[in-house]
């Protein structure tokens, strides 16, 4: 992908302070997009923004709580005030915690926390982002699903429900807004070696990330960012309503070797 692939486009990335969101924001800027870093944590959000600027990219930080309608509406409004339009929305903010579990055991507050951050946050991003895209003549929405939305996996039932909802929402939005030239797709990652996951895996990390014989067991944030850049660009103009796994084949096979 050349730098002009996203030249002139305006992209919002939620949860851009760390992990996949940070890598995606940096890559979008490197490809020529003007990037709005949406992050609830001001310190990490500003770090991402300053990194992009040091690399001669253009970026704006907007403190954002994706669970609050007023916050997401303000995010889109400030994006338009700064750059005049919204072309790309990457609804990346989300995740699960160790409190998640079986439906008979998960605390109710954890259920609603997960639904609010992952599913409701994605809904709000689409609600305000797509409205602006329609005014600008179209755009690309990239949601974050998960391997757990494609396969039955024991435990983490709040996260599974939220990500499953994102899959269905993505398909419905793709059908509903195609006539407005708004494409809506979702990425369904398997294991990704973010800072948090690397800390949890410890010494196993390098083995799982090895790129020798066969396909690595887990990916890097850059693997997801590569796909986001493609879906954000006009080179994916015929792709909408797709749920794209990035999971080393886990959702399609029993084993890869």
Active site residues: 159
What is the phi/psi pair of residue 33, to 5°? -80, 150
Nearest to 2 by CA among 244, 229, 221: 229
* Structural contact between residues 97 and 110, judged by C-beta atoms closer than 8 angstroms: yes
Report how far apart, in Å, the C-alpha atoms of 127 and of each of 14, 18, 123, 183, 240 are: 14, 24, 6, 14, 17
Query: Which residue reads 């599913």 in tokens?
Result: 119
Give the angle 19-50-82 at the CA atoms, nearest 5°: 100
Strands (E), the chain: 10-14, 34-39, 58-63, 88-91, 139-144, 182-189, 243-246
Backbone conformation region of residue 14, classed left if phi is above 0, alpha if psi is from -120 to 50, else beta: beta
């Amino acid at each position: 992908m050349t730098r002009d692939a996203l030249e002139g486009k305006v992209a919002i990335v939620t949860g851009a302070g760390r992990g996949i969101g940070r890598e995606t924001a940096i890559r979008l800027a490197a490809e020529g997009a003007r990037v709005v870093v949406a992050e609830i944590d001001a310190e990490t959000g500003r770090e991402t923004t300053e990194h992009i600027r040091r690399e001669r990219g253009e970026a704006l930080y907007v403190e954002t709580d994706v669970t609050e309608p007023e916050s997401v509406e303000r995010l889109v409004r400030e994006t338009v005030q700064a750059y005049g339009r919204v072309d790309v929305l990457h609804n990346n903010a989300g995740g699960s915690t160790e409190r998640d579990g079986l439906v008979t055991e998960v605390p109710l507050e954890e259920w609603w926390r997960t639904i609010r951050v992952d599913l409701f946050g994605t809904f709000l991003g689409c609600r305000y982002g797509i409205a602006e895209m329609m005014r600008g003549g179209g755009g690309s929405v990239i949601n974050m699903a998960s391997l757990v939305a494609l396969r039955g996996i024991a435990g983490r039932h709040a996260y599974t429900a939220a990500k499953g909802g994102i899959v269905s929402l993505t398909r419905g939005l793709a059908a509903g807004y195609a006539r407005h030239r708004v494409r809506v797709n979702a990425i369904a990652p398997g294991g990704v070696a973010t800072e948090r996951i690397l800390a949890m895996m410890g010494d196993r990390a390098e083995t799982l990330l090895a790129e020798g014989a066969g396909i690595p067991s887990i990916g890097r944030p850059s693997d997801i960012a590569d796909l986001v850049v493609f879906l954000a660009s006009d080179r994916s103009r015929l792709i909408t309503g797709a749920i794209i796994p990035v999971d080393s084949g886990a959702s399609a096979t029993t084993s890869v070797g």
